[in-house]
Structure 1
Amino acid sequence: MNDTAYLDTTLVAGPLLEAAQTTPTALWNDSSDLDELRRSIAFGGVGATCNPVIAYTTISRHPEVWNDRIRAIAAAHPTWGESTIGWQAVKDMSVEAAQLLEPIFVEHHGRNGRLSVQTDPRLARDADAIVAQAVEFSELAPNIVVKIPATQVGIAAIEEATRRGVSVNVTVSFSVAQAVTAAAAIERGLAAREAEGHDTSAMGPVVTIMVGRLDDWIKQVVARDKIFLDPSALEWAGVAAFKHAYRIFQDRGYRARLLSAAFRNVHHWAEFVGGDVVVSPPFKWQALINASDYRVVPRMDVPVDPHYLEQLRRVPEFVRAYEVDGMTPAEFDEFGPTRKTLRQFLAADADLDALVRDILIPAP
């Protein structure tokens, strides 16, 4: 059961709060927007995330706050380029959200109350650079957890960053093979850190499966390859992969928790309630769920309908994502959702650069 005693009468009754108070399932907000995060905490939320996509959205949504702040960053650092200025804004945003979550972090002894910060996707081919930035980000606040992609290079960075004391949030991850490989890397990193005499009990690693992005990819492949199947099965690919990975994590005793991200439908929360996992929906979904009359029922251990699994197994890309040996680390980088997501993150970096440019040098 999640301890929400640090929250007072601002708590908002509803299904999300009920799940937070009666099950081990943790709610994290898929945004570091402070207004959204405060409201998510009132729903029982105990964590949040930031990345260039979120930063771009937040800065665009609140120009009355961020335009002057970006100008101030630029004025204080006259030799910085727009990318460095934009990333400083991401860091500042992350620190402020982390401060809001710090009482929860203390209450949960490091397990929750964390703010995820994503490493720069432009470093994706350089493990040493990823680790160096992960260490830098982890020192921004005591309750930072750093996102590193589940690519071949990223797996090596995950292990080394963990050894160096960074609590990692594995991202760009869509499959059981990626999740299990990443969790094993975290275990090796934790073991190495412990062998060096360090206490790891307050570290809070999580391994994300972007369940909605897996659904998106399977739907794209089915349309592309003209595969005939029951269309209702297409809403269950991510759920099936997540539940399969969860069973493996439990059987193998991995210390990292699974995190469900890339919300597309209510299954991506409801089907995971009851598990010792993190669910990270956008705030608009949280508001919708918490205002509903949905009755909370633990479903993490309820298997996916065998009919849906049989249908999904007609899709080779689902089999790759579902089976624990469906892909090797060398194949992670070639998986369709990996390419699509890395390209989106890289585009978000470019968008953030352009936004900073427009603030500093407005069009005539």
Structure 2
Amino acid sequence: MSRTLDTSTPTAPLADAANRFPTVLWNDSADPVELEQSIAFGAVGATCNPVIALAAVRAHLDEWHPRIAELAQEYPTAGESFLGWKVVEELSIAAARLLEPAFEASGGRDGRLSIQTDPRLHRDAEALVEQAVRFSSLAPNIIVKIPATSVGLVAIEEATYRGVSINVTVSFTVAQAVAAAEAIERGLDRRAADGLVTGEMGSVVTLMGGRLDDWVKASVVRQRVLIDPGYLEWAGVAALKKAYHEFVARGFRSRLLSAAFRNHMHWSELQGGNLVVSPPFDWQVRINDNLLPVESRIDVPVPAHILDTLLERVPEFRRAYEVDGLTPAEFDTFGATVRTLRQFLEADEQLDHVVRDILLPPA
């Protein structure tokens, strides 16, 4: 791991940005060691999903092995999946505790820990809502991830109505981000109509810019389109900038969140905006170590020749960029959605295997 900088110095980009802009830093991991260091960089939030949880358990298996064995004794009839999700819950609760000072200081706007609903429930809105409500009770500063699919939109609205702060996930396009923010608005409006509290619930709408980059790159290969490869690095940035300005214009109460980093522009090109950037910890170290310039760039447009080329030559980018580029039914079959849901499901299976090897060590 690279060295960490003294964030009290003005030359540390993350601390400098935190002091100058409304753009806030979250840590794209609930690993306690990484999170503590990220908080020192200025992070005021963190996230967990099946991939992140699996990585954290594997990184600290010396601690989790005995704890999983204890959980197996506490729940003698439970299977691997149940025990694996108990680990995810405990990991999330511990991370949420580290963020409580930021939660209290911001009045609930920040200091949030995101825990993801079980991806195996992605076809069942009612089950997603019920799990979201339960996860929300684990700690006062929990927000719950629900995917931006056609089923997920239903769950997002209902869970919001039931008082759950949401982090929309499995979201890669402007159309998904806008539709999810609208679902949150409907849930908040229903709460207000019923006389329920609608104060700062801390909801965010993630746009996974790097995963959009991945999908756009895969699509040009499939379609045999030759394009300057550097242009493709701008796809996620362009969608994030477009979505951000749509959020501002529409007055959404949720904030946009940039995740799934593939290049430093997923941080540097968004500075100055009232949104969240959530790099993995190693990206934070690299940003500091490289002393990246800290400039307000959220209102600086993507170079016109790059954006025009992407829109003209890459149909999958155009679908991702236009506000009406996808219908909610098409959210489910968009390539990045399918790929990401499959990865989350596979991480769930791998976590089951980790638990299984503890319950039934290989003979």
**TM-score, normalised on structure 1?**
0.96
For the residue of structure 1 that corresponds to 2:99, the secondary structure is helix
Amino acid of the residue matched to residue 159 of structure 1? E
Amino acid of the residue matched to residue 341 of structure 1? T
Q: Which residue in the other structure is 1:3 paired with?
A: none
For the residue of structure 2 that corresponds to 1:111, the secondary structure is coil
Out of 280, 284, 287, the residue aligned to residue 285 of structure 2 is 287
What displacement does 1:11 show? 4.4
Work out whether 1:158 is the aligned partner of 2:161: no
Q: Which residue in the other structure is 2:26 paired with?
A: 28
Looking at structure 2, the residues matched to 279 and 322 of structure 1 have their Cα atoms a distance apart, in angstroms, of: 19
Looking at structure 2, the residues matched to 61 and 362 of structure 1 have their Cα atoms a distance apart, in angstroms, of: 19
Amino acid of the residue matched to residue 357 of structure 1? R
For the residue of structure 2 that corresponds to 1:295, the secondary structure is coil
Identical aligned residues as a percent: 62
Looking at structure 2, the residues matched to 231 and 59 of structure 1 have their Cα atoms a distance apart, in angstroms, of: 36
Q: Which residue in the other structure is 2:329 paired with?
A: 330
For the residue of structure 1 that corresponds to 2:256, the secondary structure is strand
- In terms of mean alpha carbon deviation, does 45-54 or 144-153 score higher? 45-54
| Maintained 8 Å contact 1:43/1:290 | no
Amino acid of the residue matched to residue 205 of structure 2? V
Out of 213, 228, 248, the residue aligned to residue 250 of structure 1 is 248
| Maintained 8 Å contact 1:23/1:275 | yes
Structure 1, residues 165-188: CA drift from partner, whole Å, max 9, x if none? 000000000000000000000000
Amino acid of the residue matched to residue 26 of structure 1? V
Amino acid of the residue matched to residue 330 of structure 1? A
**TM-score, normalised on structure 2?**
0.96
- In terms of mean alpha carbon deviation, does 56-65 or 203-212 score higher? 56-65
Looking at structure 2, the residues matched to 177 and 78 of structure 1 have their Cα atoms a distance apart, in angstroms, of: 45
- In terms of mean alpha carbon deviation, does 110-119 or 291-300 score higher? 291-300
Work out whether 1:361 is the aligned partner of 2:360: yes
What displacement does 1:310 show? 1.2
Q: Which residue in the other structure is 1:306 paired with?
A: 304
Q: How does 1:41-190 map to 2 (within 5 A)?
A: 41-190=39-188
Work out whether 1:215 is the aligned partner of 2:220: no
Q: Which residue in the other structure is 1:206 paired with?
A: 204
Out of 264, 267, 275, the residue aligned to residue 265 of structure 2 is 267
What displacement does 1:196 show? 1.4
What displacement does 1:228 show? 2.3
Structure 2 unaligned blocks of 5 or more: 1-5
Q: Which residue in the other structure is 2:340 paired with?
A: 341
What displacement does 1:292 show? 2.2
| C-alpha distance 343-12 of structure 1, shift in aligned 2 (>3 A) | farther
Looking at structure 2, the residues matched to 11 and 107 of structure 1 have their Cα atoms a distance apart, in angstroms, of: 20
For the residue of structure 2 that corresponds to 1:293, the secondary structure is coil
For the residue of structure 1 that corresponds to 2:206, the secondary structure is strand
Structure 1, residues 277-335: CA drift from partner, whole Å, max 9, x if none? 10010000101111222221010110000011111011111110000000100110010
Looking at structure 1, the residues matched to 54 and 226 of structure 2 have their Cα atoms a distance apart, in angstroms, of: 39
| Maintained 8 Å contact 1:12/1:42 | no
Looking at structure 2, the residues matched to 203 and 20 of structure 1 have their Cα atoms a distance apart, in angstroms, of: 21
Q: Which residue in the other structure is 1:5 paired with?
A: none
| Maintained 8 Å contact 1:230/1:311 | no
Q: Which residue in the other structure is 1:7 paired with?
A: none
Amino acid of the residue matched to residue 333 of structure 1? D
- In terms of mean alpha carbon deviation, does 54-63 or 330-339 score higher? 54-63
Looking at structure 1, the residues matched to 59 and 355 of structure 2 have their Cα atoms a distance apart, in angstroms, of: 14
Looking at structure 1, the residues matched to 291 and 36 of structure 2 have their Cα atoms a distance apart, in angstroms, of: 23
Structure 1, residues 335-363: CA drift from partner, whole Å, max 9, x if none? 00000000000001100000000112111
Looking at structure 1, the residues matched to 200 and 215 of structure 2 have their Cα atoms a distance apart, in angstroms, of: 36
Looking at structure 2, the residues matched to 69 and 294 of structure 1 have their Cα atoms a distance apart, in angstroms, of: 41
Amino acid of the residue matched to residue 76 of structure 1? E
For the residue of structure 2 that corresponds to 1:229, the secondary structure is coil
Amino acid of the residue matched to residue 281 of structure 2? F
Q: Which residue in the other structure is 1:4 paired with?
A: none
For the residue of structure 1 that corresponds to 2:14, the secondary structure is helix
Looking at structure 2, the residues matched to 269 and 133 of structure 1 have their Cα atoms a distance apart, in angstroms, of: 32
Looking at structure 2, the residues matched to 194 and 292 of structure 1 have their Cα atoms a distance apart, in angstroms, of: 47
For the residue of structure 1 that corresponds to 2:168, the secondary structure is strand
Looking at structure 2, the residues matched to 147 and 259 of structure 1 have their Cα atoms a distance apart, in angstroms, of: 12
Structure 1, residues 11-45: CA drift from partner, whole Å, max 9, x if none? 45300011011100010000001110010000000
Looking at structure 1, the residues matched to 226 and 71 of structure 2 have their Cα atoms a distance apart, in angstroms, of: 54
Looking at structure 1, the residues matched to 182 and 105 of structure 2 have their Cα atoms a distance apart, in angstroms, of: 28
| Maintained 8 Å contact 1:115/1:144 | yes
What displacement does 1:207 show? 0.3
Q: How many residues align?
A: 355
Looking at structure 1, the residues matched to 25 and 358 of structure 2 have their Cα atoms a distance apart, in angstroms, of: 34
Amino acid of the residue matched to residue 111 of structure 1? R
Out of 33, 38, 41, the residue aligned to residue 40 of structure 1 is 38
Looking at structure 2, the residues matched to 68 and 24 of structure 1 have their Cα atoms a distance apart, in angstroms, of: 42
